[in-house]
Structure 1
Amino acid sequence: MSSYHKPREWRTTISDQEYLISTDLNNISHDFVNNAYSSDDMYWAKAMPPAILRNMLSNSLVMGVYAVQPPFPPSKTADEPSSPDTPSPTLEDPSFYFSNEFQGNGAGAEKLEQVGFARFVTDHVTVFYLTDVYVAPEARGKGLGKWLISCCREILDSKPHLMRAMLMASPGEGKDFYEKNLGMRDMQEEAAEGHILAMTRKRNQ
């Protein structure tokens, strides 16, 4: 069983739309992830049975990207006065509507529409392998991918005992993107210096 790690989150606003990146697994839409895995954009992946997907996600550091819809106030019952004589101190407190305890469901909750994610395979201390970076087609062109990677970099930079971070990228544009935004380096350059030999094994076909 994976150890508990307090969720982290980042927020930004783009063209009057608020977006959230969160590592809270409770917010992840398994349907969204499986639909992404089934798309041509993620040619290296495939959809998984629910139990297998749940096991994989629970043993990863997953960063979900969400479009945030504003919270809505609780509806009033027919016999409830429209203007109480003594206002409730709970309802007067704005944090009641924005509390993390109410995210996701019910009155006063933010509605999160997932539009992307990235996944670290990691021990949370020394090794981080970044994979499955994805932004839905309708959410592209807004800078969300670059923002997601900057949050990934913040996580890596916060690990004092980090030994190695890794990923697999396409040559050319992909390589340049991760060099610039994540500080990654082509392993072949390290290999040419005689420092490392990168080895891998693909799944059986």
Structure 2
Amino acid sequence: MPPPHELRAWTLQRDGLTYTLSTDPSLLDLAAINAAYASDMLYWAKPLPPATLKLCVEQSLCFGLYAHGTHDQSQAATNGSDGHGSKGEMIGFARLITDYTTFGYLTDVYVLAAHQGRGLGKWMMRCLDEVLNLWPHLRRCVLFTSGAGAVRMYRETLGAKDVAETSFLRGLVLMEKAGPAGAVVTRKKGEEDGGRE
């Protein structure tokens, strides 16, 4: 479970819909996540048993993306909600495996096809970048991706840099966003790092 200070929410109006991005784990729709895992969209994943998936998301900082139509907006207004607490339909996700201090591994990023082309993936990554920039001891956040469009998005939104193309799966790129504590130190030739990062 994320620490209470990591519970955040953002809203965006786009094409007549209101989108909410939230790190509140109580809003996550595990069935929707498993459906995405079962799809070709997340070629690296497969559905997990419900208890395993629950543990998986509980041990990560998850960003759930929700779409709210006009009915959901009026319902939220009637209930006095600011819209952050109303669930809406879960249409996207990103999972950061992290210690909330020095390191993060970004995985399972998706936006359902019906909502693609609206800049939602970029918006999700900008919100994630906002969170990462608040961690003064962050050394790095890493991710694997493929395709020129995805690489470009992570460069533009996170400031991530290509580290290497993997040898175990052709075309898969390892990218890294350096944090404030992750400055690269140049060592003299022959100097050992003593096991430090």
User: TM bucket by the smaller chain?
Assistant: 0.7 to 0.9
Does the Cα contact within 8 Å between 2:37 and 2:45 map onto a contact in 1? yes
Partners of 1:13 and 1:29 lie apart in 2 by 22
Amino acid at match of 2:4: H
1:12 maps to which residue?
12
CA RMSD of aligned residues (A): 2.6
- For each residue in 1:84-118, what CA deviation from the matched residue of structure 2 results, as whole angstroms up to 9, or x when unmatched? xxxxxxxxxx68521679x3xxxxxx351111010
Partners of 2:157 and 2:87 lie apart in 1 by 30
Partners of 1:175 and 1:142 lie apart in 2 by 18
Deviation at 1:5, TM superposition (A): 2.8
Correspondence for 2:139 among 131, 141, 163: 163
**Cα distance change, pair 98–36 in 1 and its aligned pair in 2 (3 A):** same
Partners of 1:171 and 1:19 lie apart in 2 by 26
**Cα distance change, pair 194–48 in 1 and its aligned pair in 2 (3 A):** farther
1:200 maps to which residue?
none
Does the Cα contact within 8 Å between 1:21 and 1:63 map onto a contact in 2? yes
Segments ≥4 residues shifted beyond 4 Å: none
2:54 maps to which residue?
54
2:89 maps to which residue?
113
Does the Cα contact within 8 Å between 1:65 and 1:116 map onto a contact in 2? yes
Partners of 1:143 and 1:119 lie apart in 2 by 18
Amino acid at match of 2:81: F
Q: Does 1:98 align with 2:81?
A: yes
Q: Does 1:147 align with 2:130?
A: no
Q: Secondary structure at the match of 1:124?
A: coil
- Unaligned runs of 5+ residues in structure 2 are 166-174, 176-184, 188-197
Partners of 1:61 and 1:168 lie apart in 2 by 17
* Count of matched residue pairs: 165
**What is the TM-score normalised by the length of structure 1?**
0.73
**Cα distance change, pair 186–40 in 1 and its aligned pair in 2 (3 A):** same
1:40 maps to which residue?
40
1:78 maps to which residue?
none
Does the Cα contact within 8 Å between 1:8 and 1:24 map onto a contact in 2? yes
Amino acid at match of 1:70: Q
**Cα distance change, pair 137–129 in 1 and its aligned pair in 2 (3 A):** same
Amino acid at match of 1:185: K
Does the Cα contact within 8 Å between 1:71 and 1:98 map onto a contact in 2? no
Amino acid at match of 1:168: F
Q: Secondary structure at the match of 1:179?
A: helix
**Cα distance change, pair 47–156 in 1 and its aligned pair in 2 (3 A):** same
Larger radius of gyration: 1
Amino acid at match of 1:67: A
- Unaligned runs of 5+ residues in structure 1 are 74-93, 104-109, 196-205
Deviation at 1:147, TM superposition (A): 0.6
Does the Cα contact within 8 Å between 1:71 and 1:111 map onto a contact in 2? no
**Cα distance change, pair 186–26 in 1 and its aligned pair in 2 (3 A):** same
